[in-house]
Chains A and B, each alone.
Chain A
Amino acid sequence: MEIKFKINNLPEMDELASLIAKHVKPGFIIGLGGDLGSGKTTFTKFLAKHMGIGEIINSPTFTLLKIYQHRLPLYHMDVYRLEQIGYDFELDEFIFGNGVAVIEWYPYIQQMLPAEMLEMTLRAVSETEREITLKGSGEYAQVVEDLGHRYGN
């Protein structure tokens, strides 16, 4: 299942994150793709907010992983630096963990990720507009379908 739509500004990104936050549960995996500045970390900030996490979210580009302990923990990963290096098995406990895993630059480690996950690709159209592609199979197909109702696919 795949849908493509446009969001026009930050409040709409906030709304998208709030809609996805309604579906998250232990073991939920979100892969974020898209160039630098396309909004991957911004999306994650909104998602964390809607999961009830009060902490400040910043990009884990240099740390690979940041853990936000919460009723439903958030494991925020950025695997950009693994491009030339390859997978780090240390991430397994978080990707296959009891929280929500958000993986920025997930295509770099895609072969190590489960086939079933929510794949979200962001593309900058203008300063504030973003084209969003959402893809999911298995359980995640339902999530994409639900979002399709809102975004008119």
Chain B
Amino acid sequence: MPKSSKILAIDTATDYIFLSLVVDGVEVGHAYQNDINNHAVTIMPLLDEILKTAEVKLNELTGVIVGIGPGSYTGVRIGVSIAKMIGYLNGIPVQTVSTLALIASGSEESRILSYIDARRGNAFLACFEQDHGVMNNTVPDSLANAVVFQQEAGNGYVKVTEGRPDILKVLRSHLLRNVENIHELVPNYLQITEAECNKGKK
């Protein structure tokens, strides 16, 4: 009997914590809940419950998919750290996906503007088109003035700000990137602090 595929998806870069377990192409467990500023507390018990209910052990996973932002500066690191830990300790391949792509995947619109408020008039934005349940990224993840972007690059797209990701759609689409070296896996913040800006200058 061929080894079955057991994939865990994690995203903590928005107000919602998202976990999904896909076994042989079927989503057998998931969590999608708003627990603003509390992801670090809730993620492990949720993950534990999903795995136990599906009778899957961590080291049986065949892949981990993690949302790497952009999104919450604090939140994104929780999911990325956990994915990294699971991948490294168990030798499981990790793939990354844009948090904006995850948000878009929950929508049935054919042209989607995925949107996360970045405050100060800005937003994290990306555009997607979908046809027969397969999504394509048409405008890459950007940090831009929310109004200007929607009028220009995002014109003709339907704005989507939240929704439970459709992990099967994500798996069907070409939105995942393989992580070659687990130690180099970092969030995609899109905005960097002044400290980081200045780091290379001295």
Contact = CB atoms under 8 A, between A and B. Distances in A.
A89 B195 contact: no
B194 interface: yes
A97 to B, nearest CB: 8
B145 interface: no
Contacts of B132: none
A138 interface: no
Interface of B: 36-37, 72-74, 119-120, 189, 191, 193-195, 197-198
Q: Which 6 A-B pairs have the closest CB atoms?
A: A86-B194, A89-B73, A85-B195, A90-B74, A90-B73, A96-B119
Interface of A: 85-90, 92-93, 96-98, 112, 114
23 contacts: A85-B193, A85-B194, A85-B195, A86-B194, A86-B195, A86-B197, A86-B198, A87-B193, A87-B194, A88-B193, A89-B73, A89-B189, A89-B193, A90-B73, A90-B74, A92-B73, A93-B36, A93-B37, A93-B72, A93-B73, A96-B119, A97-B37, A98-B36
Nearest to A98: B36
A48 to B, nearest CB: 19
Nearest to B72: A93
